[in-house]
Amino acid sequence: MTALFAFVLALQTAAPQRPGQAAEQVPATVRGRVTTADGRPLTNAHLRLARTEGGRPKNQDTDDDGAYEFADVTPGTYVLVAMRPGYAASNSNNLTFTLAPGETKEHVDVALRRLSAIVGRIVDDNGDPVEGASITVMRLRPGSTRRFANAQSRRTDELGRFRVYNLQPGDYVVSAGFGSTGGPTLSVPPGYATTYFPGTMSPKDAQIVHVNASEDVPGIEFPLIAVRTASIFGQMIGADGAPFQGAIQLAPSRRSGALGGASVGAITYRDGRFEFPNVAPGDYVIESTRNNEHGFAWVSVSGADVPGVVVQTQPGSSMTGRLIFDGASPPAGRVSIAAYQADPDVGTGGQPVATVRSDGVFQIGPLYGARRFRVATSPGWTLKSIVVNGQDVTDTPLTFGSPSQSLKDVEVTFTDSITTLSGTIRPPSLKSVSVFVFSDDRDRWYEGSRYVSFRTSTADAFAIGGMPPGGYFVAALDKLPEGMPGANDLLAEPEFLDRLSREATHVTLTERSTAAVTLSIISIP
């Protein structure tokens, strides 16, 4: 009798098969709820159900009880993502499941974590509230105290209050000022500098605000610092020497240690003249844009007007040359050449990658600012040298921008005489381990450096080939510190590498040498 009841129940809950429809194509149904982390239903949360094999995803919103239903779903494997403003999307949870023909999958529930906020108030030097101040909240890249991953901005209300929300957990720097992105500053109140919490003009003295998950951090109140401001006057000129009226902006120079901040637009005129009014003391970079041309100028302000600044745009530079392989036979794999930014103030153009022909001739551009070049090729080969006009510039920043700074006949040589570093991890890890190898010379800890590398090992051994000769630290981590990005993003973070070096193993690699190390797993809180 029990078996008969179960059979009848199965017939009632199974999706009906349409006439002429194959059993494997009988549609399925998915039901569930979206709630907060503490179980409260979330209304109007949006769900996207996407088949892993591709195709158009299905979309649905939750009802007043946080419930949803996807009906008439083709059998297969799916990924479900839930999202709602103010909450972290669920795609980090990788909610993946398989639907059998005719299946009704119940209780596919998703809990969303509320995003965090920083709450505070800005006052003037008399303690009165400041309305309309621009608040910039910059999230530091995990492992760094100098570089930030992203920024959000808000303005204070009539009581000087602000609330910057939709923040992920992490460390933040908060600044206040009167910069505005992309627009003129005709109504900027004079006399106040960009001020960092808890009340300093120096980004180096800014206090880090730590934000936990689903947390509002209150009490971030500080006064703007009154200063003597000045104006910057100048003119925009194109590569053809003619003045023009175009886009122009002023930003704190990161060469001077600024963490960043809002870009400020200028008052511009048809004859190419521009004016940045009410600029606080500090070091700045000005960037002007005309179609695909870019121009840069660096200005220091100390309380007096700065006249006569000329910003001339340029179409960028190019670099052409050929690949040389010093070895038994050229590798069969693809060769890549990327231009990494060596000037923190000039990021225009991202990281251009060279076009390489089958005969080894390459071209890369347009290029702006100081650049270093990072190359990659098949295993068993490594970079030997980059030679310009007979000079080895392998690790030297090269300056680009104008056509006259273009380089020709550059020789990029690879060699199959490489170093090999192997190691054993004790005790063996039951999961993947990130192995970092980085130079013992801090000057080589920069983005794109060939003197820093990492490998992911899923066993108790690893091997890294092709590192340049020199002294290195080697360290193994089974888990990156909380909130840190992927290991690749940490290779240019001096603070992280410095912490790692204190417990790392030191090794020296010489040309064509093979070295072996035994590592214990390191934990960094």
Q: Please calculate the CA angle 246-247-253 and round it to the nearest 5 degrees.
A: 135
- Considering the domain architecture, whether residues 386 and 425 belong to the same structural domain is answered as no
Is the four-CA dihedral 248, 251, 256, 260 of positive or negative sign? negative
Q: What is the DSSP letter of 442?
A: G
Range with the largest mean pLDDT of 45-49, 90-94, 225-229: 45-49
Mean pLDDT confidence for 435-460: 89
- Give the integer Cα–Cα distance in Å for 290 and 65: 53
pLDDT of residue 285: 95
Q: Describe the strand order of the beta sheet including 505-509 as a list of residue ranges.
A: 452-457, 433-439, 470-477, 505-509
Terminal alpha carbon distance of the chain: 60
- Give the integer Cα–Cα distance in Å for 91 and 46: 12
Domain final residue pick, 372, 394, 415? 415
- Is 340 contained in some domain? yes
Q: Judge whether residue 323 has pLDDT over 60.
A: yes
Q: Please calculate the CA angle 22-26-31 and round it to the nearest 5 degrees.
A: 170
Domain span including residue 60: 2-112
Radius of gyration of the chain (CA): 29
- Considering the domain architecture, whether residues 7 and 108 belong to the same structural domain is answered as yes
- Considering the domain architecture, whether residues 408 and 475 belong to the same structural domain is answered as no
Residue 393, domain CATH: 2.60.40
- Considering the domain architecture, whether residues 59 and 37 belong to the same structural domain is answered as yes
Q: Please calculate the CA angle 322-327-330 and round it to the nearest 5 degrees.
A: 55
- Is 249 contained in some domain? yes
- Is 124 contained in some domain? yes
Residue 23's pLDDT band, with cuts at 50, 70 and 90, is low
Contacts of 148 (CB under 8 A, 6+ apart): 138, 139, 140, 141, 173, 259, 260
- Considering the domain architecture, whether residues 146 and 179 belong to the same structural domain is answered as yes
- Considering the domain architecture, whether residues 146 and 166 belong to the same structural domain is answered as yes
pLDDT of residue 306: 97
At 511, the amino acid letter reads: E
pLDDT of residue 7: 41
Residue 88's pLDDT band, with cuts at 50, 70 and 90, is confident
Residue 91, domain CATH: 2.60.40.10
DSSP secondary structure of 64-85: TTSEEEEEEEPSEEEEEEEE-T
Mean pLDDT confidence for 458-484: 83
- Is 524 contained in some domain? no
Q: Is 487 exposed, middle or buried (0-12, 13-18, 19+ CB in 10 A)?
A: middle
- Considering the domain architecture, whether residues 82 and 138 belong to the same structural domain is answered as no
Domain final residue pick, 112, 136, 163? 112
- Considering the domain architecture, whether residues 358 and 427 belong to the same structural domain is answered as no
Whether a cis peptide bond, with omega within 30° of 0, leads into 481 is no
Strand pairing report for 267-268 and 361-367:
unpaired
Residue 272, domain CATH: 2.60.40.1120
- Is 478 contained in some domain? yes
Q: Is 92 exposed, middle or buried (0-12, 13-18, 19+ CB in 10 A)?
A: exposed
Instruction: Retrieve residue 389's tokens.
Output: 């006009």
Domain count, the chain: 5
At 88, the amino acid letter reads: A
Inter-residue contact 375 to 468 (CB < 8 Å): no
Q: Which of 291-295, 343-347, 354-358, 521-525 has the lowest mean pLDDT?
A: 521-525
- Considering the domain architecture, whether residues 55 and 141 belong to the same structural domain is answered as no
- Is 503 contained in some domain? yes
- Is 104 contained in some domain? yes
- Give the integer Cα–Cα distance in Å for 37 and 35: 7
The model's pTM:
0.71
- Considering the domain architecture, whether residues 66 and 123 belong to the same structural domain is answered as no
- Considering the domain architecture, whether residues 18 and 108 belong to the same structural domain is answered as yes
Mean pLDDT confidence for 166-191: 67
Strand pairing report for 407-415 and 317-326:
parallel
- Considering the domain architecture, whether residues 365 and 387 belong to the same structural domain is answered as yes
- Is 410 contained in some domain? yes
Domain final residue pick, 312, 328, 346? 312
Phi, psi dihedrals of residue 8, rounded to the nearest 5°: -65, -40
